[in-house]
Amino acid sequence: MGRRKSQKLMTSLKLEKYSPAGGHDIETKKAADGGPSQSSGSPLPDSGHVGGWKADLDFSVAAGSGRCGLGRLSFKGPLRIQRPFRPESGPNAPCHLYLLHPPGGMVGGDALTIKAEMEPGARALVTTPSAAKFYRAQAPQSQSTSVNVGPKAGIEWLPAETIVFSGANGLVETSFEVSNLGFLLGCEITVLGRPASGDGFERGVWHQIFNIKREGRLVLRDVWKSQGGGDELINPAGWAERHIAVMFYALGRHGEPTDLAALTAARNVLWQDMEKPKENRQPGLLPPQSRPPQSLAPIWGVTILGELFLAKMLTDSLTEAHRFRLKVWEALRPGLWQREVYVPDIWFT
- Please state the domain count of the chain: 1
Q: How many CB atoms lie within 10 A of CB 222?
A: 15
Which of these, 246, 266, 256, lies nearest to 333 by C-alpha position?
266
Alpha carbon distance 2, 13 (integer Å): 29
Alpha carbon distance 162, 134 (integer Å): 8
In a domain, 243, yes or no: yes
* Model pLDDT, residue 13: 32
pTM: 0.82
**8 Å CB contact between 113 and 46:** no
pLDDT in tens, 217-234: 999 999 999 999 999 999
Q: Which residue has the higher pLDDT, 89 or 116?
A: 116
Q: Residue 310 pairs with which residues in a beta bridge?
A: 249, 303
* Model pLDDT, residue 294: 56
Q: Which residues contact 10 (CB under 8 A, 6 or more apart)?
A: 82, 83
In a domain, 6, yes or no: no
In a domain, 274, yes or no: yes
pLDDT in tens, 65-103: 778 899 999 999 999 998 899 999 888 899 999 999 988
In a domain, 231, yes or no: yes
Q: What is the CA radius of gyration of the chain?
A: 20
Band of pLDDT at residue 104, cut at 50, 70 and 90: confident
pLDDT in tens, 298-333: 899 999 998 999 999 999 999 999 999 999 999 999
In a domain, 116, yes or no: yes
pLDDT in tens, 248-302: 999 999 988 989 999 999 999 888 876 555 444 444 444 444 455 556 888 999 9
In a domain, 266, yes or no: yes
What residue numbers bound the domain in which 303 lies? 55-348
In a domain, 328, yes or no: yes
* Model pLDDT, residue 274: 61
In a domain, 247, yes or no: yes
C-alpha dihedral over 55, 57, 58, 60, to 10 degrees? Answer: -170
